[in-house]
Amino acid sequence: MIALAIMMAVIGFALIFVAMYPAFRLSPRWQTPAIACGVMAIAILVYFVDGRPGQAGAPYEQQAALRLASSTADLTPAARLERVRDTLRQNEDDAAAWAELGRMLARSERELEAIGAFQRSIRLELDPQTLSDLGQTFINLNDGQVTPEAVSAFEAAQDMAPDLPEPAFFLGLAAYQAGDMDQAEAIWVGILARLDARDPFRVLIAQQAFQLLSQLQVDTAAIDAALSSENFDPQTRIGGMVGRLEGRVDEGGATLSDWLRLIRVYGMAGDDDGARIVLDRARETFSDEAGAMAILNLLAAALATSEGQE
């Protein structure tokens, strides 16, 4: 503040002196200095209307240095994001920082920027996790649709790290969205079999796989036709569907998806005992398939929990 005051005084009086110089021969002799002081007084008064002499400047370089010196916990999310950008401004070839920036942006739902950041990272260093994150950002940007770009990213990630859970899950999801249930089931069961039992993704993938594979495959045209029929009876139709599923299960030609659907139908109908019986039979059938068992065990645990609550 003292430095500012000195500078203001030096510059101010210098310019006023230049302006008033021709008048210094005026008499009475006090007149010119008085006018000069008056001009300076006007300038200072105008300055102090909203001036903040005590507030220091905050150039970017200085702020960036402060952010880098701070611990992450002390920073706001925006400051954390900016800190990663600061790192990149110093070294734009830092692949890890680009990937981190991409993740932060993706979490803030700024997908376009996140994709740009992931792509920069991948151009510098191919990394399966970054490829997978890129694929997921493509999916988020496209309202959950696994686009061809996302599939390319996941395939590249899986080639590099076959046991990475996310690419496999989303490749399964791509197959599922394309209507290829068998392929989706195979991929999910495959990755669940490969994942360590303590891997947190194992439960998540098993949950999602159950949710999606147990979805009843609805033929909308057939439903429309049935609804328009005079003899339409929903109970009869559900009964028929359950009957067809049970038939396939009893004949031994059922896929895991068929088993899961049957369990779900019983659950939806409120027949938890029936669901448990089918689940036990399924666990017997798939006892030597680790991936399928991951889903069925999860289901068994869920049913046991709901039984305990009852």
Partner 1 sequence: MIAELGRFLLALALALSVLQMMGGWRASGATATLAGKVSANAAYAALVSVVIAFALLIVLFLQSDFSVAYVAGHSHVDKPLFYKIAAAWGGHEGSMLLWCSLLVGVGAALAKFALNHDVSLKFRAVSIQGGLQILFLAFAAFTSNPFDRLVDIPVQGADLNPILQDPALAIHPPTLYIGYVGLSAAFSLAVAGLIEGRGGAAIAAALRPWALFAWSALTGGIALGAWWAYYELGWGGWWFWDPVENASFMPWLIAAALIHSAIATEKSGNFAGWTCFLAIMAFSLSTLGAFLVRSGVLTSVHAFALDPERGLWILAIMTIIAGGGLALFALRSGKLGSGSGFSLSSREAFIGANNLLLVTVAGTVLFGTLYPLISGALGDTGISVGAAYFNFTAAPFLAALLILLPLAPFLPWRKQGFNRRLAMRSAVWILAGVLAGIWALILGATPIAVGAAAFAGWTLAGIAADVWHHRVIVGMASRFSLAGRVLAHAGVAAIALGAVADSTGRPETVRALAVGETLEANGFMLTLDAVQRADGPNYLADEARIGVTGRSLTELRPQRRFYTAGETTTREVAIRSGVGGDLYVSLGEPRTRDDGVIAYEVRASFNPMVWLLGLGAMLIALGGLTAFVGNVAAARRRQ
> Is the CB of 67 or the CB of 264 nearer to partner 1?
67
Q: Are 187 and 172 in contact (CB under 8 A)?
A: yes
DSSP 8-class letter at 118: H
> Is the CB of 25 or the CB of 198 nearer to partner 1?
25
> Is the CB of 6 or the CB of 223 nearer to partner 1?
6
In the complex, what is the shortest distance from the CB of residue 100 to partner 1, in angstroms, rounded to a whole number? 17
d(CA 73, CA 71): 5
Peptide bond into 77 cis (omega under 30): no
> Is the CB of 42 or the CB of 68 nearer to partner 1?
42
In the complex, what is the shortest distance from the CB of residue 49 to partner 1, in angstroms, rounded to a whole number? 6
In the complex, what is the shortest distance from the CB of residue 63 to partner 1, in angstroms, rounded to a whole number? 7
> Which token pair is 171?
């490749």
In the complex, what is the shortest distance from the CB of residue 219 to partner 1, in angstroms, rounded to a whole number? 23
Q: Using alpha carbons only, what angle is made at residue 292 by residues 252 and 165, rounded to the nearest 5 degrees? A: 150
> Is the CB of 55 or the CB of 228 nearer to partner 1?
55
> Is the CB of 11 or the CB of 301 nearer to partner 1?
11
In DSSP notation, 62-100 reads HHHHHHHHS-GGGS-HHHHHHHHHHHHHH-TT-HHHHHH
d(CA 106, CA 100): 10
Side chain identity at 242, as an amino acid letter? V
In the complex, what is the shortest distance from the CB of residue 3 to partner 1, in angstroms, rounded to a whole number? 7
In the complex, what is the shortest distance from the CB of residue 217 to partner 1, in angstroms, rounded to a whole number? 23
Residue 195: which residues within 8 A CB-CB, separation 6 or more? Answer: 163, 165, 201, 202, 205, 294
In the complex, what is the shortest distance from the CB of residue 47 to partner 1, in angstroms, rounded to a whole number? 4
Burial of 174 (0-12, 13-18, 19+ CB in 10 A): buried
Q: Which residues here bind partner 1, judged by CB under 8 A?
A: 3-4, 7-8, 11-12, 15-16, 18-23, 25-26, 35, 39-40, 42-47, 49-53, 55-61, 63, 76, 78-79, 81-82, 85, 89, 110, 112-113, 116, 119
> Is the CB of 46 or the CB of 304 nearer to partner 1?
46
> Is the CB of 19 or the CB of 225 nearer to partner 1?
19
In the complex, what is the shortest distance from the CB of residue 140 to partner 1, in angstroms, rounded to a whole number? 16
Question: In this structure, is the dihedral angle defined by the CA atoms of residues 279, 281, 287 and 290, taken in order, positive or negative?
Answer: negative
Q: Using alpha carbons only, what angle is made at residue 280 by residues 278 and 282, rounded to the nearest 5 degrees? A: 70
Distances in Å between the Cα of 188 and the Cα atoms of 95, 151, 208, 286 are: 30, 15, 9, 15
